[in-house]
Amino acid sequence: MDLERIREGMTSFFAPRQDPNHAFPPASAAVFFNARMELNRDATVLLVSLLRPDRYLDAMGATGVRGLRIANECGVPVTINDRNSDAVDLIEQNAEGLGELVQVTQADINVLLSGRRFDAVDIDPFGTPAYFVDAAARSASRYLFVTATDTAPLCGAHLKAGMRRYFARPLNTDYHSEVGLRILLGFVAREVVKYDRGVEPLFCFAREHFVRLHLRLNNGAEAADRTLARIGFVHQCPACPARVEEHGLIARTHTCPECASLLQPIGPLWLGPVSDRLLLASMQEQLKKMELGKKAQLQRLMQTCESELDMASFYDYHRLAKRWRVSPPDIAALIARLQEKGFAASRTHHAGTGLKTDAPVGVLQEALTRG
Ligand SMILES: C[S@@+](CC[C@H](N)C(=O)[O-])C[C@H]1O[C@@H](n2cnc3c(N)ncnc32)[C@H](O)[C@@H]1O
């Protein structure tokens, strides 16, 4: 393998030189590496530096960058696994300076996870994590971290694939990125609760072409029931911007409160908070002390997530402005107008033109058109 040295955060490692003319350069070499996932890795390094699990499993290591960074930058013992022997050789080479902190294994992840428990389990596949979540839910003692890069099935662009992977019905809406995040979170929650355990989202977000979940797992039937109570549906009107949330495992029939059309159910999906605000505040403090390549972007992301309302969908207010033939105001001004009218309103990390509010559509139209 033709290798090049890369530095991410405080960690140096080797990755295969990629073919820049390949349709997807990260997959052009014998071992996968995607430099564009640095923020995703930075977020986990930051979080793990606070959580300090007893042992962290990087279940799908490739170059091993994730696990290497956790060992090197957080001082946490890690196991780095991959089933591919080229990857395992490279991980061993990359781990040389880290001594006892890094253990390297070569196994199919479902086999490894079925035979051993780890305090934190991280699943980072290329595509869907759906095939691995059940085994990860059994193996992880306290923390479960999951990436999905199959955003088209998650968000409703590939409807049938989404239904097959996640036992849920997405819908391609203006807020498709949020639907993807919440369908994945709902799916993971359902995989966990069958073992009488619950999930508590710590820091979950969607960005570019991936969704990233950081979850705490809590033991006991009560924790599982609290998790189940967060599952439900968003019912979207096909004719106007209105939508309604409904908790529960069965989607009932709803008509639009604005125009009486039959609403389309999206889900089951997660309706609860997707991050822990107190933890986000501590992470922002911790970030000040750390050297991370995507520090500024991560800081902005966490700030937005901290202020984001917990509701499960948002409006693209530029699209609403077009629909109602008005020029869109500044988002901060629009949020202030809605708050002055007594409604909650916030930005969302999903889109710069995304607006969350509990105001009815009529009030939103008034705030957009008349101020
Ligand atoms: C997207 S890459 C991981 C990227 C890496 N975590 C990073 O941050 O750069 C996915 C890796 O999972 C490995 N893999 C795929 N299926 C696997 C399985 N069933 N068991 C173990 N490893 C698997 C692949 O060989 C590949 O190296």
What is the rounded distance in angstroms from the CA atom of residue 163 to the CA atom of residue 90?
36
Q: Quick check: bond before 328 cis, omega within 30?
A: no
Phi, psi of 343 (to 5 degrees): -110, 155
Q: Which two tokens stand for residue 217?
A: 């797992």
Show the tokens assigned to 74.
Answer: 């957080």
Q: How many residues does the chain have?
A: 371
Label residues 24-53 b or e (16+ Cβ within 10 Å = b).
ebbeebebbbbeebbbbbbbbbbbbbebeb
pTM higher than 0.95:
yes
Query: Domains, the chain, ranges and CATH?
Result: 3-307 (3.40.50.150), 315-369 (3.30.56.70)
- Candidate from 14, 32, 33, 60 with most ligand 1 atoms within 8 A of CB, to mutate: 60
Contact between 142 and 127 (Cβ < 8 Å): no
CA 316 to ligand 1 centroid distance, Å: 35
Tally Cβ neighbours within 10 Å of residue 20: 7
Chain centroid to CA 199: 14
Digit-by-digit pLDDT tens for the chain (371 residues) are 899 999 999 999 999 999 888 988 998 899 999 999 999 999 999 999 999 999 999 999 999 999 999 999 999 999 999 999 999 999 999 999 999 999 999 999 999 999 999 999 999 999 999 999 999 999 999 999 999 999 999 998 999 999 999 999 999 899 999 999 999 999 999 999 999 999 999 999 999 999 999 999 999 999 999 999 999 999 999 999 999 999 999 999 999 999 999 999 999 999 999 999 999 999 999 999 999 999 999 999 999 999 999 999 999 999 999 999 999 999 999 999 999 999 999 999 999 999 999 999 999 999 999 76
**What dihedral do alpha carbons 26, 29, 31, 36 form, nearest 10°?**
-10
Rounded distance, CA 232 to CA 140, Å?
25
For ligand 1, residues with CB inside 6 Å are 32-33, 37, 41, 60-63, 65-66, 82-84, 87, 108-109, 124-126
